[in-house]
């Protein structure tokens, strides 16, 4: 720690996926509004630098990689890299001298926060999912504060705050008319927002194409995020079938995407909270191989709260997809009730609340 330095610095260990990085950016934005700088700690490259460069935040990489729980050469290699990452983190801490550190739950958090503990740098944790990840389970007893999205998240921690998920300033939904204009959509039809997560979702993309190949989709406008791998294929079918809407590998203006939507269709990782902020009904298809099956837990929680319909990936095909979407969009009362339930779950001030608690620990008023 550096009590004599004029500028306070918060180190944020994030990355891996958008579900971990984007809440970190949201926190950094809230801290910046209060005059405090943030420096990101990333693991092995996964394209996160693009976003940090765009938002203007500095970052340092360490050699951390995901930990694998089976006994294999890959497990040994990842363990060695994470040991190296601890040594690298100690050097980063010595140079950066952060006043406090933040772990967003990604694999990068482990080595860096262990190094913070060894260096007497206090830290806090964020858990975006209902079922906490291994890193947060291990480190929560050592953290000053643990911030969670769901009331039902169970962690052995000193101080738990239910704040909701942190949303970037520019992702907060635009007004419907402005959003439609921004995306070049005419309006007049239900707008389906199909998001496969920051990395895309091949299964959802294939199901959508199968549905288009039956002639379905002409009653809707679509806003589709395919991810990089499937973009050329999906967009070619999209154009060939004359589907109304917009198809991109990734959208920069997610505030317009959610603001234009009437129904969200996608995975149940971090993006669902952005959709909740837009008061959207949700059709969720949990990624079945997520660690600890946390996406299924997230989805089932929202289904019980009345804001989502869940489709198991094993049951997913074009017929089930079309039937589910059509049944919802044809039932205006149900759509309205689901939207109201989403509105009730949305936390608009999560970033500022969390930033305020962190700044209080730092002695910043």
CA–CA gap between residue 267 and residue 310 (Å, rounded): 10
Compute φ and ψ for 39, nearest 5 degrees.
-130, 125
According to the model, what pLDDT value does residue 70 have?
64
Which residue, among 264, 294, 182, has the nearest Cα to 272 in the 3D structure? 264
Spell out the long-range contacts of 182-185 with Cβ–Cβ below 8 A and sequence spacing 24 or more. 182/253, 182/256, 182/260, 183/223, 183/246, 183/256, 183/257, 183/260, 184/246, 185/221, 185/223, 185/244, 185/245, 185/246, 185/260
Alpha carbon of residue 100 to chain centroid = 23
Q: How far apart are CA 340 and CA 280, in angstroms?
A: 8
125/23 Cα distance (integer angstroms): 12
State the sign of the Cα–Cα–Cα–Cα dihedral 226, 227, 230, 236. positive
- Cα–Cα distance, 132 to 76 (Å, whole number): 24
* Non-local CB neighbours of 103 within 8 Å, separated by 6+ positions: 13, 109, 112, 113, 123, 124, 125, 126, 135, 136, 139, 143
Structural contact between residues 32 and 55, judged by C-beta atoms closer than 8 angstroms: no
The pTM of this model reads 0.88
262 CB neighbour count, 10 Å cutoff:
19
Per-residue pLDDT of the chain (365 residues; tens, 9 = 90+): 444 446 899 999 997 777 889 999 999 999 999 999 999 999 877 778 888 999 999 999 998 877 666 666 777 777 788 889 999 999 999 999 999 999 998 788 999 999 999 999 999 999 999 999 889 999 999 999 999 999 889 999 989 999 999 999 999 899 999 999 999 998 899 999 999 765 668 999 999 999 999 999 999 999 999 998 999 999 999 999 999 999 999 898 999 999 999 999 999 987 799 999 999 999 999 999 888 899 999 999 999 999 999 999 999 999 999 999 999 999 999 999 999 999 999 988 999 999 999 999 999 97
| Domains of the chain by start residue, with CATH | 9-167+348-362 (3.40.50.2000), 173-345 (3.40.50.2000)
Residue 4: what pLDDT?
Answer: 44
- Residue 302 in contact with residue 308, Cβ under 8 Å? yes
């Amino acid at each position: 720690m550096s009590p004599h330095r004029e500028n306070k610095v918060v180190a944020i260990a994030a990355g891996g996926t958008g579900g971990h990085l984007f809440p970190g950016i949201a926190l950094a934005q809230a801290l910046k509004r209060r005059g405090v700088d943030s420096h990101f700690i990333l693991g092995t490259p996964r394209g996160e630098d693009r976003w940090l460069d765009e938002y203007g935040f500095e970052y340092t990489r360490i050699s951390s990689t995901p930990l694998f729980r089976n006994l294999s050469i890959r497990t040994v290699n990842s363990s060695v890299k994470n040991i190296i990452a601890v040594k690298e983190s100690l050097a980063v801490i010595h140079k950066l001298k952060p006043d406090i550190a933040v772990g967003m739950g990604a694999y990068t958090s482990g080595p860096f926060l262990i190094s913070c503990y060894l260096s007497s740098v206090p830290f806090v944790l964020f858990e975006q999912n209902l079922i906490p990840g291994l890193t947060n389970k291990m480190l929560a007893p050592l953290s000053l504060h643990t911030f969670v999205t769901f009331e039902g998240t169970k962690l052995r921690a000193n101080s738990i705050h239910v704040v909701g998920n942190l949303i970037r300033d520019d992702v907060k939904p635009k007004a419907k008319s402005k959003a439609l204009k921004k995306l070049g959509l005419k309006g007049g039809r239900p707008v389906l927002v199909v998001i496969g997560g920051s990395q895309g979702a091949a299964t959802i993309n294939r199901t959508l194409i199968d549905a288009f190949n039956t002639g379905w989709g002409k009653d809707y406008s679509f806003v589709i995020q395919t991810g990089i791998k499937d973009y050329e294929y999906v967009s070619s079918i999209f154009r060939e079938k004359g589907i109304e809407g917009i198809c991109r590998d990734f959208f920069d203006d997610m505030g317009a995407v959610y603001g234009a939507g009437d129904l969200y269709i996608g995975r149940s990782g971090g993006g669902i909270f952005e959709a909740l902020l837009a008061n959207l009904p949700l059709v969720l298809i949990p990624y079945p191989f997520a660690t600890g099956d946390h996406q299924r837990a997230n989805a089932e929680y929202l289904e019980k709260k009345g804001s989502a319909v869940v489709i198991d990936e094993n049951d997913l095909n074009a017929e089930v997809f079309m039937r589910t979407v059509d049944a919802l969009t044809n039932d205006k009362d149900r759509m309205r009730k689901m939207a109201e339930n989403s509105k009730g779950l949305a936390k608009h001030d999560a970033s500022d609340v969390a930033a305020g608690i962190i700044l209080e620990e730092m002695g910043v008023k």
